[in-house]
Structure 1
Amino acid sequence: MLAHANLLSLHDVDQHRLAPLLAPRSIALVGASRRRNTVGNDMVRNIIASGYDGAVYPVNPGYATLYGFRCYAGLTALPEPVDLAILSVPNRVLENVVDEAIAAGARALVIFASAELEGERDDLLRDRIAHKAREAGVPLCGANCMGFFNLSHPVRAFSAFHADPLTAGGLTCIAQSGSLLQALLFNDERLKFNLAVSAGQELVTTAADFMDYALDQPETRCVALVLEAIRDPRTFVAALEKANRRGIPVIVLKLGRTEAGAQFALSHTGAIAGNAEVYEALFRRYGVISVRDLNELAQTAILLSTIRKPLRPGGLAAILDSGGERELIVDVASDLNVPFAQISAATTQVLAENLDLGLSPVNPVDAWGTGKDFEAIFENCLTALMADPDTGIGMFVADLAEELDLHDAYIDICQSVARTSDKPLVLMTNYSAWSHRKHALRLSREGVAVLDGTTTALRAVRHAMDYRDFAARAPIQQDEHCENPRAAHWRALLASRTSALSEDEGYALLSDYGIRVPAYRIVNSRQEAIIAASEIGFPLVAKTAMPGILHKSDVGGVMLGIADADAAGRAYDDLSARLGPRVLLTEMARGQAEMAFGLVSDAQFGSFAMIAFGGIWIEILKDSQLAMAPVDRAVAARRIASLKMSDVLNGVRGAPPCDTAALIDAYVNLGALARDLGAQIAELDINPVLVGEDGVIAVDSLIVPAPAVEAQHVH
Structure 2
Amino acid sequence: MTSRSRQVAPSRGSAGRVISTSTQSPAAPNTMRAATIVTGSSSARATSARKKDAPQTMESRTNRTQAVVSRAGARADMVRTIAGCGCPVIPLLALVAPAASVRLSSCPTGSPMVQHRLQPLLCPGSIAVVGASPKQSSFGWMSYRGIVDSGFDGALHLINPRYDSIDGRPCLPNLAAIGKPVDHAMLNVANARLEAVFDDAIAAGIPAVTIFASGYLEGDTDPPLVERLRRKARETGLLICGGNGSGFVNYAEGTLVNLAGNRGNPEVGNITLISQSGSIYGGLIQNDGRLNFNLTVSSGQEISTTVADYMDYALALDSTRAIALFIETIRDPEGFAAAADQAMAQGVPIVVIKAARTEESVKMAMSHSGALAGDDDAYNAFFEHHGVLRVYDLPEMTATLQLATQPRTMAPGGLVAITDSGGEREHLADQASDAGVTFAEITPETSARLAERLEYGLDPVNPLDAWGTGHDYQGIFIDCWHALMADPNAAGGAWIADMRDGEQFRFIFVEGAHATAKATGKPMAFVNCVPGGIGHETVALLNDYGIPFIDGMGAAMTAFARMMAWRDKRAARAMAPPDAPAQSVIERWRERLATGMALDEAEGLALAADFGIETPATAIVETAEEAVAAAEACAGPVVLKTAMPGIQHKSDVGGVAVRLDGVEAVRAAYDDMAARLGARCLVAPMAPCGVEMVFGLVRDAQFGPLVLVGSGGILVEVLKDSLLAVPPFDEAHALSLIDRLKGRALLDGVRGEASADVPALATMLARFSVLAAELGDSIAELDLNPVITGPDGAVAVDALVVPSTEA
TM-score (norm 1): 0.93
- Residue of structure 1 aligned with 2:150, choices 50, 54, 68: 50
Tell me the distance in 1 between the aligned counterparts of 2:679 and 2:204: 76
* Deviation sequence 1:9-35 (CA, Å, 0-9, x none): 236965110111111111111111111
Amino acid at match of 1:644: K
Matched, 1:510 2:608: yes
Distance 1:277 1:165, change over 3 A: closer
* Deviation sequence 1:363-398 (CA, Å, 0-9, x none): 111112222222221111111111110000111101
Post-superposition shift, 1:404? 2.8
Distance 1:641 1:617, change over 3 A: closer
Q: Which of 615-624 and 599-608 deviates more?
A: 615-624
Listed as ranges, the matches of 1:38-117 within 5 Å are 38-78=138-178, 80-117=180-217
Matched, 1:376 2:475: yes
Which residue matches 1:222?
322
Listed as ranges, the matches of 1:453-602 within 5 Å are 453-477=552-576, 484-498=583-597, 500-602=598-700
Which residue matches 1:689?
787
CA contact (8 A) 2:265 2:292 kept: no
Tell me the distance in 2 between the aligned counterparts of 1:11 and 1:426: 29
- Residue of structure 1 aligned with 2:735, choices 629, 634, 637: 637
Post-superposition shift, 1:258? 3.2
CA contact (8 A) 1:49 1:165 kept: no
Tell me the distance in 1 between the aligned counterparts of 2:435 and 2:577: 32
Post-superposition shift, 1:160? 1.8
CA contact (8 A) 2:159 2:172 kept: yes
* Deviation sequence 1:222-275 (CA, Å, 0-9, x none): 101111111112211111111111110011111122359x9xxxxxxxxxxx81
Post-superposition shift, 1:93? 2.1
Post-superposition shift, 1:640? 1.6
Which residue matches 1:349?
448
Tell me the distance in 1 between the aligned counterparts of 2:494 and 2:770: 43
CA contact (8 A) 2:265 2:285 kept: no
Matched, 1:672 2:770: yes
Please state whether the residue corresponding to 1:122 is helix, strand or coil. coil
Please state whether the residue corresponding to 1:324 is helix, strand or coil. helix
RMSD of the TM alignment (CA)? 2.2
Please state whether the residue corresponding to 2:274 is helix, strand or coil. strand
CA contact (8 A) 1:687 1:699 kept: yes
CA contact (8 A) 1:176 1:201 kept: yes
Matched, 1:386 2:480: no
Please state whether the residue corresponding to 2:268 is helix, strand or coil. coil
Which residue matches 2:43?
none
Which residue matches 1:162?
262
Distance 1:147 1:164, change over 3 A: closer
Post-superposition shift, 1:454? 1.8
Post-superposition shift, 1:483? 6.0
Tell me the distance in 2 between the aligned counterparts of 1:439 and 1:330: 26
* Deviation sequence 1:534-566 (CA, Å, 0-9, x none): 112221111111222222112222111111111
* Deviation sequence 1:616-671 (CA, Å, 0-9, x none): 44211321122111122222122122222223223333433322222122111111
* Deviation sequence 1:169-226 (CA, Å, 0-9, x none): 1111111111111111113321111111110111110010001000111111110111
- Residue of structure 2 aligned with 1:253, choices 326, 339, 353: 353
Distance 1:413 1:69, change over 3 A: farther
Distance 1:12 1:598, change over 3 A: farther
Tell me the distance in 2 between the aligned counterparts of 1:164 and 1:66: 25
CA contact (8 A) 2:696 2:707 kept: yes
* Deviation sequence 1:581-605 (CA, Å, 0-9, x none): 1111110001321100000112332
For structure 2, the 5+ residue unaligned runs are 1-46, 48-100, 109-114, 363-373
Which residue matches 1:649?
747
- Structure having the higher helix fraction is 1
Q: Which of 229-238 and 294-303 deviates more?
A: 294-303
CA contact (8 A) 2:590 2:778 kept: yes
Please state whether the residue corresponding to 2:604 is helix, strand or coil. helix
- Residue of structure 2 aligned with 1:186, choices 286, 298, 311: 286
Tell me the distance in 2 between the aligned counterparts of 1:559 and 1:701: 17
Please state whether the residue corresponding to 1:612 is helix, strand or coil. strand
- Residue of structure 2 aligned with 1:10, choices 104, 125, 136: 104
CA contact (8 A) 1:172 1:196 kept: yes
Please state whether the residue corresponding to 1:485 is helix, strand or coil. helix
- Residue of structure 1 aligned with 2:538, choices 430, 436, 439: 439
CA contact (8 A) 1:315 1:339 kept: yes
Tell me the distance in 1 between the aligned counterparts of 2:706 and 2:485: 41
Distance 1:383 1:393, change over 3 A: same
CA contact (8 A) 1:543 1:552 kept: yes
Q: Which of 483-492 and 165-174 deviates more?
A: 483-492
Amino acid at match of 2:103: S
Question: Paired residues, what number?
Answer: 690
- Residue of structure 1 aligned with 2:253, choices 139, 153, 163: 153
Listed as ranges, the matches of 1:381-420 within 5 Å are 381-420=480-519
Tell me the distance in 2 between the aligned counterparts of 1:326 and 1:55: 58
Which residue matches 1:619?
717
CA contact (8 A) 1:684 1:703 kept: yes
Matched, 1:336 2:435: yes
* Deviation sequence 1:283-310 (CA, Å, 0-9, x none): 11111101112222222112212x1011
Post-superposition shift, 1:135? 2.8
CA contact (8 A) 1:259 1:276 kept: no
Tell me the distance in 1 between the aligned counterparts of 2:179 and 2:627: 90
Which residue matches 1:266?
none
Distance 1:502 1:395, change over 3 A: same
Amino acid at match of 1:555: V
Tell me the distance in 1 between the aligned counterparts of 2:186 and 2:578: 48
Amino acid at match of 1:477: A
Amino acid at match of 2:171: C
Listed as ranges, the matches of 1:251-400 within 5 Å are 251-258=351-358, 275-305=375-405, 307-400=406-499
- Residue of structure 2 aligned with 1:234, choices 305, 312, 334: 334
Tell me the distance in 2 between the aligned counterparts of 1:368 and 1:403: 21
Please state whether the residue corresponding to 1:378 is helix, strand or coil. helix
For structure 1, the 5+ residue unaligned runs are 263-273
Please state whether the residue corresponding to 2:741 is helix, strand or coil. coil
Distance 1:13 1:216, change over 3 A: farther
Tell me the distance in 1 between the aligned counterparts of 2:425 and 2:539: 22
Post-superposition shift, 1:482? 8.0
Which residue matches 1:269?
none
Matched, 1:700 2:798: yes
Please state whether the residue corresponding to 1:486 is helix, strand or coil. helix
Tell me the distance in 1 between the aligned counterparts of 2:536 and 2:753: 57
* Deviation sequence 1:650-697 (CA, Å, 0-9, x none): 333343332222212211111111112111111111111000111111
Please state whether the residue corresponding to 1:10 is helix, strand or coil. coil
Tell me the distance in 1 between the aligned counterparts of 2:594 and 2:757: 35
Q: Which of 454-463 and 639-648 deviates more?
A: 639-648
Tell me the distance in 1 between the aligned counterparts of 2:740 and 2:470: 44
Please state whether the residue corresponding to 1:283 is helix, strand or coil. helix
Which residue matches 2:96?
none
Tell me the distance in 1 between the aligned counterparts of 2:253 and 2:211: 20
